[in-house]
Amino acid sequence: MESIIALTLFLFLMSAISYYGYRHYAKPGRIFEQIGGPAGEVETSRAYGAAGAAGLLIRTIRRVGEKVPISPQDASRTRRYLIAAGYRSDTALVTYYGVKVLLCIAMAGLIFALRSQLPAVMVLRVILVVGGVLAGFFIPNLVLDHLISKRHEEIRFALPDALDLMVVSVEGGLALDQAIQVVSRELDITHPSICDELKLVTLEMRAGTRRADALRHLADRTGETEIRSLVAILVQTDRFGTSMAESLRIHSEFLRIRRRQDAEERANKVGVKLVFPIFFCILPSMFLVTGGPAILQVFKQLRPLLRAFGN
């Protein structure tokens, strides 16, 4: 048990030190290197040291990922998930599979290092080893699903603001292509996720892709239902020549109403979700605090009577 606690504290401290070093040394050093500004001697050496270690780790992960046999169907599906999470680089797929393989090896090595703390039964040891390997294999899937859900939530939260700015731009005399470009530029700081997707739409249209196809690619990349609804509205409005500003305004109001309804639904669920914590955690404490002294007094008064009755 002591070795498990010590290993957990070591991993926590190592993660905290690595994060602090990247945020305060490696990242500023890269920024200074890009802009050509002067960097201090100590900071520069630390930055290059951290960057070198990080680069070696990344290269190792990618080399391991390149050796993993992947079917075209699995590769296509995983790449689609990575794009939905915001990872569009060519090396994202091999990095993902490299992380999965190395995490499986790390979990198996951790369980092997703690073999003295494991049960003596061989079957249980084998089950724990297999479970650790499976956990290392499926943890990246869970993390990727969480990142996709988080990005979908960010896009869904930013969509009404983007539509409002798009309505103002269209009513000001801009075309839809120019309105999308304005939204991707003006909301880049507050809502970077949706702005990145709109920038890709602008780049595709500049490269010669039809507007309807670029918008459909946006829906396919994100996989968000609200984006699909918006793309369908834009394509239909552009095809039939109806008012673009009015359609965007109505859809923006609809999104805000749906967000309000979702908030009300979550608020109504709070009471039901609090039943079990109140019943199992709060009520026993209240009974102990309020009724404990009274019960002690009752036993204190009844003890002489019980002794007299026993005699």
157 and 267, same domain (yes or no): yes
Q: Which residue has the tokens 């109403």?
A: 257
Rounded (5°) CA angle 97-133-121: 170
Q: Do the domain assignments include residue 77?
A: no
Whole-structure pTM over 0.75, yes or no?
no
Q: pLDDT-based confidence at 104, cuts 50/70/90? A: confident
160 and 263, same domain (yes or no): yes
The span from the CA of 162 to the CA of 158, in Å, is 6
**Domain limits at 251?**
152-271
Q: Which residue has the tokens 């090396």?
A: 91
Q: Do the domain assignments include residue 176?
A: yes
Q: Do the domain assignments include residue 218?
A: yes
Q: Residues in the chain, how many?
A: 311
258 and 157, same domain (yes or no): yes
Q: Do the domain assignments include residue 93?
A: no
pLDDT, tens digit, 9 for 90 and up, residues 194-248: 888 889 999 998 888 888 888 888 888 888 888 888 888 888 887 887 788 888 8
**Among 107, 86, 38, CA closest to 222:** 86
Task: Please give the single-letter amino acid code of residue 296.
Answer: L
Q: Quote the pLDDT of residue 69.
A: 83
Single out the residue in 26, 47, 67 at which a domain terminates: 67
Q: Do the domain assignments include residue 59?
A: yes
Instruction: Report the mean per-residue pLDDT for the chain.
Output: 79
In the chain, the number of structural domains is 2
Q: Do the domain assignments include residue 140?
A: no
Q: Do the domain assignments include residue 28?
A: yes
Q: Do the domain assignments include residue 229?
A: yes
Higher pLDDT: 2 or 144? It is 144
The span from the CA of 70 to the CA of 308, in Å, is 83
pLDDT, tens digit, 9 for 90 and up, residues 62-96: 787 788 888 888 888 888 888 888 888 888 888 88
